[in-house]
Structure 1
Amino acid sequence: MLGLRAKTGIELCPNCVASGVHISHGKIVVGSIAKLGCNCKILSDVTIGGQGRYDKHGAPQIGDRVFIGSGAKIIGNITIADDVVIGANAVVIHSITEPGITVAGNPAKKVSNTGSFYYLNKE
């Protein structure tokens, strides 16, 4: 873990990432009890973590095929549905329960009915 963080700026625990997760660049922090679903894509400068002590407040649970834009912050005991796009620099502090949408802003709000398919499948 220390070697990964020192070389890449990526901090994540071995049990929080499912198969097929793609991390584009460094400076990523994923809290120790946060969970990332299968085939997610995370760009640079993203933080996924809890508020204070995890045992009291929980941590984000990210669904499958979620695209997380650069600089996004996903904070607290929240759930992100499958196929969601989280825009660059979005601050997500509430659960996103509707699958296949795009959210952006601070705090993040729904801005589109377009989900992650395009972002995860473009060349």
Structure 2
Amino acid sequence: MQSQHEALSVPRDAAEAAAAAAAAPSWWALLRGDVRCVLQRDPAARNLLEVWTIYPGVQAAASHRLAHALWRRGWRYLPRWISFAARWFTQIDIHPGARIGERFFIDHGTGVVIGETAEIGNDVTLYHGVTLGGTSWSAGKRHPSLGDGVVVGAGAKILGPITVGDRARIAANSVVIDAVPADATVVGIPGRVVGRRRLTRHGFDLDHHLIPDPVGKAIACLLDRVAQLERQQPLANRDAAAGGSCGTCDGACTDPAFDTLLTTSTEE
């Protein structure tokens, strides 16, 4: 995580608040970065007017930038109200206490939830249905921290005060409850590291169809194993199978009444 987050942290006193305000990028500068990154990462974005007016991710980010600035200055109700109103319009729920770096992009957006103590680095991309949630009711740090350049696929859940390293990517619908190293690819429930990330010349990897599929791989292994066992079966069974009937049950398993026979045998 870069020092950007330190500048966005909640100030402890007036002097620290003034220093943080001077060091942090302005609301307008952050928002311009959010808009520009949409044009870079979304091929469907045609122009600035379209991005400014009809992209819910940009509108949610703009609302959060304002709410977070007020939150850092000690306001509580007004930032929560801004967050509440933004959720109605965008279907994106970002707590005003969450700390978000520069060039933040939420694609599609519906169903995204970001908790109060979540921290998000620069150049992060979230897809719809992503949750950065907590796993406890403690008042301290209870939400995840995402490093720079992280991509989180649709429907993924990252839970608890864990760290996702720089440039990691989380596959769609994964549930991540353990720390993720930098440049790793995480897949599954619970999420596990299955590979290392490859970047495009633009520095982003949006090729979700190339993410390893451990379930598909396991099924392929089972099919290979079945084929191997069939080659190794006894000669008598093999000859019987070649004649169209099963060498184990004389073809009973291919009879339409097999399920009924099986149920009857089990009951007996």
TM (normalized to structure 1)? 0.88
Higher mean displacement: 54-63 or 35-44: 54-63
Q: Give the Å deviation of 1:5.
A: 0.3
Q: Give the Å deviation of 1:52.
A: 2.4
Higher mean displacement: 3-12 or 66-75: 3-12
- Alpha-carbon contact 2:167-2:197 (below 8 Å) kept: no
Q: Give the Å deviation of 1:101.
A: 1.5
Q: Which has the higher contact order (CA 8 A, sep 6+)?
A: 1
Partner of 1:67: 151
- Alpha-carbon contact 1:85-1:102 (below 8 Å) kept: yes
Structure-2 separation of matches of 1:23 and 1:57? 23
Q: 1:100 to 1:30 in 2, by over 3 A?
A: same
Structure 1 residue 27 and structure 2 residue 114: aligned?
no
1:49-68 Cα deviation digits (max 9, x unpaired): 11122425621011110000
Q: 1:46 to 1:54 in 2, by over 3 A?
A: farther
- Alpha-carbon contact 1:60-1:75 (below 8 Å) kept: yes
RMSD across aligned positions (CA):
1.7
Partner of 1:17: 100
Q: How many residues end up aligned between the 2 structures?
A: 119
2:178 partner SS: coil
Q: Give the Å deviation of 1:17.
A: 1.3
2:129 partner SS: coil
TM (normalized to structure 2)? 0.42
Structure-2 separation of matches of 1:71 and 1:118? 18
Higher helix share: 2
Higher strand share: 1
Higher mean displacement: 108-117 or 32-41: 108-117
Structure 1 residue 83 and structure 2 residue 167: aligned?
yes
Q: Give the Å deviation of 1:79.
A: 0.5
Q: 1:21 to 1:54 in 2, by over 3 A?
A: farther
- Alpha-carbon contact 1:33-1:54 (below 8 Å) kept: no
Q: Give the Å deviation of 1:20.
A: 0.6
Structure-2 separation of matches of 1:118 and 1:68? 11
Identity %: 33
The amino acid of 1:119's aligned partner reads: L
1:54-95 Cα deviation digits (max 9, x unpaired): 425621011110000000000011000000010000000011
Q: Which runs of 5+ in 2 are unaligned?
A: 1-82, 208-268
Structure-2 separation of matches of 1:102 and 1:32? 26
- Alpha-carbon contact 2:117-2:141 (below 8 Å) kept: no
2:205 partner SS: helix
- Alpha-carbon contact 1:93-1:107 (below 8 Å) kept: yes
The amino acid of 2:95's aligned partner reads: C
1:7 partner SS: helix
Q: 1:80 to 1:108 in 2, by over 3 A?
A: same
Matches within 5 A, 1:1-123: 1-14=83-96, 15-25=98-108, 26-56=110-140, 58-96=142-180, 98-115=181-198, 117-119=204-206
